[in-house]
Chain A
Amino acid sequence: MPTPTDPEVPVIEFVDVQKSFGDNIVLKDLNFSVRRGERVTLIGPSGSGKTTILRLVMTLEELTGGYIFVDGEPLTHREKDGKRVAVSSKEQKKLRTRIGMVFQQFNLFPNMTVLENIIEAPIYVLGQSKAEATAKAHSLLEQVGLPDKADQHPLSLSGGQQQRVAIARALAMDPEILLLDEVTSALDPEVVGDVLNILRNVADTTNVTMLIVTHEMSFARDVSHKVMMFDGGRVIEEGAPEKIFSDPSHQRTQQFLSAVLGDA
């Protein structure tokens, strides 16, 4: 029986995943797995289901078919006597605390200070002491370049600063898996670089597994081990970024990349 720390067990595994919104089937028999410490970028045309995949991992969407495993354990449903049975909310919560997400719109809590945003979950979910959580929060704020903003309210910060706080908040939970959904799309172009540099630094200095959706292809090339191209609810091509970006084998990938990279 594999244990969660077994390096051979994928951190994330999708098995025959189906996701539909009403009649709209978005993901169809999707299979892929992500190894520990691996950084994977999902690319594909708008509406191909990239966000949906991240939201399924974060359990923000309901899985309509198939199975998702985190550290080898079922995240939402398991198979039992040939039937699909929902896992208990306690089991799900245990896995969910290993997953962090940074949103396009930051979603900081505006009624709390920056510090309170960061220490809330470490204290009340992980059971850290306030002193411990606060010390960690300050060092994370240092890391994201906002050492003097702890007592500010999020809405008094710029978008780029808010997103950096959101990154610190996610990292404060020491996630095994970090989900990044177009985290720079809502930002002014001149601050995109700062935020991406912080994420590059996180990638370089930690072993956190990342699932990334981005339109920043140079960032994707720098940080990811693997790029997966989605279309029509399936992975149509995957491989190392050098391979996918410079020599895609699938015609849809070529079309997509030339459209995205455009004049670049």
Chain B
Amino acid sequence: MIPVMPFTADPAPATGSTGNVWNWDFAIEIFPAILRAFIEVTLLVTVVGTVIAALLGLVIAILLRVLPRPLAFVLRWAANFIRMTPLVVQLLVLYYGFTWMDPLTIGFIVFGIHYATYMSEVYRAGIDSVPKGQWEATKALSMSAGRTWRRVVIPQALRSTIPSLGNYAISMFKDTPFLFVISVAEMVRVAQTIGAQTFRYTEAITIAGLIFLAASYPTALLINRLEKRLAYAN
């Protein structure tokens, strides 16, 4: 993990500007530190968390379909429990419960599992939307369960899930500031620390906000593209 380190640049250079006005020199000076926190923490947790959540969510959705009733019931209950408890609480529980664990790793696990429970619901709806006739056709062709899921059900289920999954990925991204509760130096915390040490919050917080925007907008576009690509071509 990246420790929250004191920011040692000179505070406002003596250009006669007041503390409330935007100072370009200062903004340019602090930008690399904030961007670095963004890439090394915020983006990393979002990407790793999304990958875990997307895969685990699919596994949960499939297991809910194929497990024997009692086991599926237990799994559903566990998933509901995780979904219904706040992310912050889950971060803190793991942070204080597993003190030997790297906080960033805790971030991956908690974001991944927490959002997996949401994504599993999305997948479940997607799987339910695959018409019964498709399952019957796979049976009439004696396709194995594995091929049925891989070649028929999952591809068709995914088609309708991509937008929702993408939106959860963006939610996760916007939840990353919660990492501050387990003292991970994610971007907003770094920006805030800079502000606290220099008594100039405007530049630091604005930069953090703009970086958020600059990242989520293209992501939304990307999701849109993917959605179109997944629509049945002809």
B133 and A97 contacting across the interface, CB-CB below 8 Å: no
Q: Is A254 close to B, CB under 8 A?
A: no
A155 with B232: CB separation less than 8 A: yes
**A58 with B143: CB separation less than 8 A:** no
Q: Which of B136, B141, B144, B155 contacts A173 (CB 8 A)?
A: B141
Docked-complex contact A111 and B152, CB < 8 angstroms: yes
**Which residue of A105, A124, A153, A155 is within 8 Å of B147 (Cβ)?**
A124
Q: Are B234 and A120 closer than 8 Å at their CB atoms?
A: no
Are A109 and B140 CB-contacts (below 8 A) given A152-B234, A153-B234, A156-B234?
A: no
**Contact yes or no, B232 A109, CB < 8 A:** no
B57 to chain A, nearest CB (A): 20
Nearest CB in chain A: distance from B66 CB, A: 14
**Residues of chain B lying within 8 A (CB to CB) of residue A120:** 141, 143, 147, 151
* A169 in contact with B139 (CB, 8 Å): no
Q: Whole-angstrom distance between the alpha carbons of A125 and B144 in the complex? A: 7
Tell me the bound Cα distance from A105 to B151 in angstroms.
20
- Total interface residues on B, CB under 8 Å, equals 20
Residues of chain A with a CB closer than 8 A to B142's CB = 93, 96-97, 121, 125, 173
Q: Which of B131, B137, B155: most chain A CB closer than 10 A?
A: B137
Question: Number of contact residues on A: which range applies?
Answer: 20 to 34
Asked, given contacts A111-B232, A120-B151, whether A59 binds B136 with beta carbons under 8 Å apart, the answer is no
B224 at the A interface (CB under 8 A): no
Give the contacting residue for A155; candidates B152, B159, B234; CB below 8 A: B234
Question: Is A103 in the interface zone, CB < 8 Å from B?
Answer: yes
Known: A120-B151, A152-B234, A153-B232. A107 touches B134 (CB 8 A): yes
A60 within 8 A of B: yes
Does B210 sit within 8 A of A, measured CB to CB?
Answer: no
Q: What residue of chain B has the Cβ atom nearest to residue A104's Cβ? A: B133
A120 to B146, CA, bound (A): 13
On whether the beta carbons of B137 and A110 are closer than 8 Å, the reply is: no
Q: Interface SS of chain B: helix, strand, loop or mixed? A: helix
Establish whether residues A111 and B136, one from each chain, have CB atoms under 8 Å apart when the complex forms.
no
Q: Which residues of A, 45-94, contact B by the 8 Å Cβ criterion?
A: 58-60, 93
* Neighbouring B residues of A99 by C-beta, 8 Å: 140
Which of B140, B143, B144, B155 has the most chain A CB within a 10 Å cutoff? B140
Out of A60, A112, A156, A169, name the residue touching B136 (CB < 8 Å): A60
Task: For A153, list chain B residues within 8 Å (CB).
Answer: 232-234
Question: Given A110-B156, A153-B232, A58 and B139 touching (CB < 8 A)?
Answer: yes
In the complex the two chains form, what is the Cα distance from A108 to B234 in whole Å?
A: 15
**A130-169 interface (Cβ within 8 A of B):** 152-153, 155-156, 169
Which residues in window 159-208 of B have CB below 8 A to A? 159
Asked if A109 meets B136 with Cβ closer than 8 Å, knowing A120-B143, A153-B234, the reply is no
Query: Which chain B residue has the least Cβ–Cβ distance from A157?
Result: B234
Given the known inter-chain contacts A59-B139, A111-B156, A120-B143, please indicate yes or no for A103 contacting B234, CB distance below 8 A: no
Known: A110-B156, A110-B232, A111-B156. A100 touches B140 (CB 8 A): yes
Question: Are A101 and B140 neighbours in the complex by a CB distance under 8 Å?
Answer: yes
Residues of A with Cβ closer than 8 Å to B?
58-60, 93, 96-97, 99-101, 103, 105, 107-112, 120-121, 124-125, 152-153, 155-156, 169-170, 173
Residues of B near any A CB (own CB < 8 A): 131, 133-134, 136-137, 139-144, 147, 151-152, 155-156, 159, 232-234
8 more contacts with CB within 8 A, not counting A107-B137, A120-B147, A121-B141, are: A96-B142, A99-B140, A101-B140, A121-B142, A125-B141, A125-B144, A169-B141, A173-B141
